[in-house]
Structure 1
Amino acid sequence: MNYHTRKWVKPEDLNPNQSLFGGRLLQWIDEEAALYAVIQLENKKIVTKFISEINFVSSAKQGDIIEIGIEVTRFGSTSVTLACQVRNKMTHQTIITVDRIVMVNLDEDGNPAPHGKTKVEFVKDRLKPKESDEDFH
């Protein structure tokens, strides 16, 4: 699992029990999944199709730093399926797990569209070296 984003739990993120509000955490997860899919599929037109069972394992409190981990579990022809784990940055205690988040690639008209991807790609591998960089190889 690769952890890409950290969040600091602030007073406005708390529920009446003074722990992290589940809805806020799900908002952060949905945003992180969308960003991950946009980068992987190289298309800004991505939507959340499905989120599987959400397992709240432990809570986070004000002042905790959490990190959101995302990994690809499957590429479909028009979608990418992700798994997510959120943990406490300092203790590595799991806060929440989500087995499946399905993100769908859309065309200009908002219809599901093939993306042509079959494996995880890293942005650095897609970038072409600048001419000045080639001098150092």
Structure 2
Amino acid sequence: MRFHTRKWVKPEDLNPNETLFGGKLLAWIDEEVALYAIIQLENTKVVTKHMSEINFMSSAKQGDIIELGIDVVKFGKTSLTLKCEVRNKMTHETILTVDTITMVNLGPDNKPKAHNKTQIEYVKDRLKN
């Protein structure tokens, strides 16, 4: 799994139990997978269609540094399915996993549009062409 983003858990990210609010973490994940899909599919019109079961395995507290990892599960005709793991950067303890997150590529009419992608592409490789 490639870990792309780190977040520092701050006071405004906490719930009444003084641990990371799950909704805040899900917002971070949704943004991160959207950015990943936008870059992979080379289209800024990408939306979240589905998230599978979300498994909270441990918590994070103020001051923790967490990192979000994303891997591609599969390329569909109009979609990109990803999986995600969030872990504590210092301890590597898993905080959360999501087995599948489906992102859909949209056309100018806001309807699903084929993206013609079949494998992960890295920006550095695109720049060589």
Which bin holds the TM-score, normalised by the shorter protein? over 0.9
Other-structure match for 1:27: 27
Partner AA of 2:7 in structure 1:
K
For structure 2, which runs of at least 5 residues remain unmatched after alignment? none
Other-structure match for 2:87: 87
Written as runs of structure 1 = structure 2, the 5 A alignment for 1:53-68 is 53-68=53-68
Deviations 1:40-70 (A, max 9, x none): 0000000000000000000000000000000
**Aligned counterparts of 2:127 and 2:109: Cα–Cα separation in 1:** 28
1:128 CA drift (Å): 2.8
**Aligned counterparts of 2:33 and 2:128: Cα–Cα separation in 1:** 26
The answer as to 2:108 corresponding to 1:108 is: yes
SS in 1 for 2:87: strand
Give the paired residue count: 129
Partner AA of 1:74 in structure 2:
K
1:15 CA drift (Å): 0.2
The answer as to 2:6 corresponding to 1:14 is: no
* Structure 1 vs Structure 2 CA RMSD: 0.7
For structure 1, which runs of at least 5 residues remain unmatched after alignment? 130-137
Other-structure match for 1:132: none
Other-structure match for 2:5: 5
1:77 CA drift (Å): 0.3
SS in 2 for 1:32: helix
TM-score (norm 1): 0.93
Other-structure match for 2:75: 75
TM-score (norm 2): 0.99
4+ residue runs over 3 A deviation: none
Deviations 1:2-58 (A, max 9, x none): 000000000000000000000000000000000000000000000000000000000
The answer as to 2:42 corresponding to 1:42 is: yes
Partner AA of 2:95 in structure 1:
I
The answer as to 2:118 corresponding to 1:118 is: yes
CA radius of gyration, larger in: 1
SS in 2 for 1:18: coil
